[in-house]
A and B are shown apart, each in its own frame.
Chain A
Amino acid sequence: MNNPVDITLGREYEGDVGIVAYSDYFCAEPLKFELGGELESFNVRYETYGRLNDDKSNAILVCHALTGDHHAAGVYSLDDRKSGWWNNIIGPNKPLDTNKYFVICSNCIGGCRGTTGPSSINPKTGERYNLSFPAVTLRDMVAVQERLITHLGIKKLAMAIGGSMGGMQCLQWAIDFPDRIGKVCALATTSRQNAQAIAFNEVGRSAIMQDPVWNNGDYKLERVPSVGLGIARMMAHITYLSDKGLEGKFGREQREGQKTPDGKEIFKPSFAIENYLHYQGQSFVNRFDANTYLYFTRALDLFDLRQYGGSLESAFRDMKAKVLVVGFTSDWLFPPAQNREIVKALLRIKKTASYAEIKSDLGHDSFLIHSPKLYKLIEYFLDV
């Protein structure tokens, strides 16, 4: 447990959860996957921040997006220069206030950051699962989170919150476990992947699967399909930003060109945006498994809440959680209309739901970025 009260913090860490460590929950109870397939046992890697109160009613589950992980806040050591991916939201006196709430974030099943996934060793064979790992859906991710919550002794979550794929998990939570969740805060998300989002995922998967190193998923960890995965990330990263955001950050900034450029020179990345994308691709390869990328993007493609009864209304029928959905104006991956649609369906069947839209030039990733408006909204929603 990472309790900020127990850590003596330097001034620069004031308001942060400080030094954190992950935990592992090994579940020996078999897990049946939605589309078939089974794991006899699995591991869930997670982090927690703040203290679980006596009646265990102050737990908030943070659900990560496609390439996120369980390390949502804090640092692993004082030398650690990079804090968790949602450090701006989680901490003492932050919107997810660790003085009041017990915040949990776990790596999704099928992941590559400590929770069992395709790159884990199959205890039966002693080999990595690779493509023998069962197909994962959002429902499977949530089922595993529910196991973790139960393991932690929590009957009912105060709230589940997440953006993008994390938002989908939150909605799935409210559908699958209506009695075990009080509130849902879903950001920059959708009730199903539309054709455009599936299209982008397919380009990413094609880049990976056509990398000869990928070898039908049977690559060695020493030599991963880094070309394919890197390109997949470069492409996907563009969909997380926006024209205006990119223009503002990079514009046409360019290194000095060669005096007599020929084909050998002129195609080398020289624009700032090119170098940025290559850097993004490269650093991603070092922290993410190509097979997990395939499994998770497929889970996203298959996500469609309308599959539960043919309409959103029927999917939401038994839901009890209070819902807040937040869209961002410049998000073109899951545009505001797709966020609105969720709330419209909930209101049509007289549920407790709200929709708010935040003006932002930063595209889909807006939910990850400093936004006092978003903070206030979450704070208000959480405290009522």
Chain B
Amino acid sequence: MSEEKTAKTLSKRKVELESISDWVGRGESVLDLGCGRGILLSELMRLKDIYAVGVDSDFDKISRCMKRGVNAYHGDIMDALRTFDDNSFDWIICSRTLPELENAREVVMESLRVARRVAVGFVNHAYWRNRFAEFFTGDRIVNEVFPSRWESSRPMNPISLNSFKEFCKDNDIIINRSRFLRGDWERPCRFWPDMFAGYAVFEISKEKQK
């Protein structure tokens, strides 16, 4: 990957982190599903003094969490979720994890049991560039967010903003707030987000949250 592309990816990741970490309150407890190298959690530990637990299925990522001093659980997301009592975390963060899950519904519902609030962030596949790429090539887009084609990337279910909202409605999930970013993942997207938002974060819960 070129230097420019790497920088772009990093800044995208940063924006993604910022938009979620804004919502988390000081001293809260946060469980991150698909925590990767623990970047988000270590930032939140530093900035907001949170109690953090990350879950990931990749050893090297867990190892990186160790380096950052982030609590990490190496294993299956459902196995981790089932461990915890109802409402044992203030937050569950699920950033760009859902598309890779076989049991996304089950994970969301279990998350809503374990945490008062769940932040779900994902790439909006209905974003116009993604639509165009698919329209012209018939394939999923390949860019800095999805750097590899199907033969060397993990299986992924595309999610669109509207289908996520529908999913929430179908399952009696309350959307407390949302944040949509344009294709640059920086500027907020106010106009026709299903078409023009590149990245979306939703705060969802079972009960209405203040």
- From 285 to 337 in chain A, residues with beta carbon under 8 angstroms from any chain B beta carbon are 324
Q: Does A355 contact B (CB under 8 A)?
A: yes
| Residues 256-290 of chain A, each 1 if its beta carbon lies under 8 Å from chain B, else 0 | 00000000000000000000000000000000000
Distance between B110 CB and nearest chain A CB, rounded to angstroms: 15
Per the CB 8 Å criterion, the residue count for chain A at the interface is 22
How many angstroms between the C-alpha atoms of A357 and B75 in the bound complex? Answer: 8
Q: Does B147 contact A (CB under 8 A)?
A: no
A356/B83 in contact, CB under 8 A: no
Listed stretches A13-21, A62-70, A131-139, A373-381; interface member: A373-381
Closest to A359 in B: B59
Neighbouring A residues of B83 by C-beta, 8 Å: 344, 347-348
How many angstroms between the C-alpha atoms of A377 and B61 in the bound complex? Answer: 11
Distance between A314 CB and nearest chain B CB, rounded to angstroms: 15
On whether A377 and B75 interact (CB within 8 A), knowing A347-B53, A348-B85, A356-B59, the answer reads no
| Residues 340-368 of chain A, each 1 if its beta carbon lies under 8 Å from chain B, else 0 | 10011001101011111111000000000
A343/B73 in contact, CB under 8 A: yes
A377/B63 in contact, CB under 8 A: yes
Neighbouring B residues of A377 by C-beta, 8 Å: 63, 66
Q: Does B21 contact A (CB under 8 A)?
A: no
Neighbouring B residues of A359 by C-beta, 8 Å: 59
Neighbouring A residues of B74 by C-beta, 8 Å: 354-357
Contact of B66 among A340, A348, A357, A384 (CB under 8 A): A384
On whether A350 and B29 interact (CB within 8 A), knowing A343-B73, A356-B72, A359-B59, the answer reads yes
Closest to A353 in B: B71
Contact of A357 among B29, B59, B67 (CB under 8 A): B59
How many angstroms between the C-alpha atoms of A384 and B42 in the bound complex? Answer: 12
A348/B84 in contact, CB under 8 A: yes
Distance between B35 CB and nearest chain A CB, rounded to angstroms: 11
- From 119 to 156 in chain B, residues with beta carbon under 8 angstroms from any chain A beta carbon are none
| Residues 75-115 of chain B, each 1 if its beta carbon lies under 8 Å from chain A, else 0 | 10001100111001000000000000000000000000000
B63/A373 in contact, CB under 8 A: yes
Q: Does B68 contact A (CB under 8 A)?
A: yes
B59/A373 in contact, CB under 8 A: yes
Q: Does B69 contact A (CB under 8 A)?
A: yes
B66/A355 in contact, CB under 8 A: no
A350/B51 in contact, CB under 8 A: yes
A384/B71 in contact, CB under 8 A: no
Neighbouring B residues of A353 by C-beta, 8 Å: 71
Q: Does B33 contact A (CB under 8 A)?
A: no
Distance between B51 CB and nearest chain A CB, rounded to angstroms: 5
How many angstroms between the C-alpha atoms of A384 and B51 in the bound complex? Answer: 16
Q: Does B161 contact A (CB under 8 A)?
A: no
Q: Does B181 contact A (CB under 8 A)?
A: no
Neighbouring A residues of B88 by C-beta, 8 Å: 348
Closest to B53 in A: A347
Neighbouring B residues of A376 by C-beta, 8 Å: 63
| Residues 120-133 of chain A, each 1 if its beta carbon lies under 8 Å from chain B, else 0 | 00000000000000
How many angstroms between the C-alpha atoms of A356 and B69 in the bound complex? Answer: 14
| Residue of B53, B64, B75, B79 with most chain A CB atoms under a 10 A cut-off | B75
Closest to B51 in A: A350
B67/A384 in contact, CB under 8 A: yes
On whether A354 and B66 interact (CB within 8 A), knowing A344-B83, A347-B73, the answer reads yes
Distance between A67 CB and nearest chain B CB, rounded to angstroms: 29
A324/B59 in contact, CB under 8 A: no
Closest to A346 in B: B71
Distance between A325 CB and nearest chain B CB, rounded to angstroms: 10
Q: Does B204 contact A (CB under 8 A)?
A: no
Neighbouring B residues of A348 by C-beta, 8 Å: 83-85, 88
Closest to B67 in A: A380
How many angstroms between the C-alpha atoms of A352 and B29 in the bound complex? Answer: 12
B67/A354 in contact, CB under 8 A: no
Neighbouring B residues of A380 by C-beta, 8 Å: 63-64, 66-67
Neighbouring A residues of B66 by C-beta, 8 Å: 324, 354, 356, 377, 380-381, 384
How many angstroms between the C-alpha atoms of A340 and B74 in the bound complex? Answer: 9
Distance between B172 CB and nearest chain A CB, rounded to angstroms: 27
On whether A355 and B53 interact (CB within 8 A), knowing A348-B85, A373-B63, A381-B66, the answer reads no
How many angstroms between the C-alpha atoms of A373 and B60 in the bound complex? Answer: 8
Q: Does B65 contact A (CB under 8 A)?
A: yes
Neighbouring B residues of A344 by C-beta, 8 Å: 73, 80, 83
Closest to A378 in B: B66
| Residue of A347, A357, A358, A383 with most chain B CB atoms under a 10 A cut-off | A347
14 A-B contact pairs sorted by A residue (CB < 8 Å): A340-B73, A340-B79, A347-B84, A348-B88, A352-B71, A354-B72, A355-B74, A356-B59, A356-B62, A356-B63, A373-B59, A380-B64, A381-B66, A383-B67
Q: What are the 4 A-B residue pairs with the smallest beta carbon separation, nearest first?
A: A380-B66, A384-B69, A380-B67, A344-B83
15 new A-B pairs (CB below 8 Å) besides A348-B84, A380-B67?
A340-B75, A347-B71, A347-B73, A348-B88, A352-B71, A354-B62, A354-B65, A354-B71, A354-B73, A354-B74, A355-B73, A355-B74, A356-B63, A381-B66, A384-B67
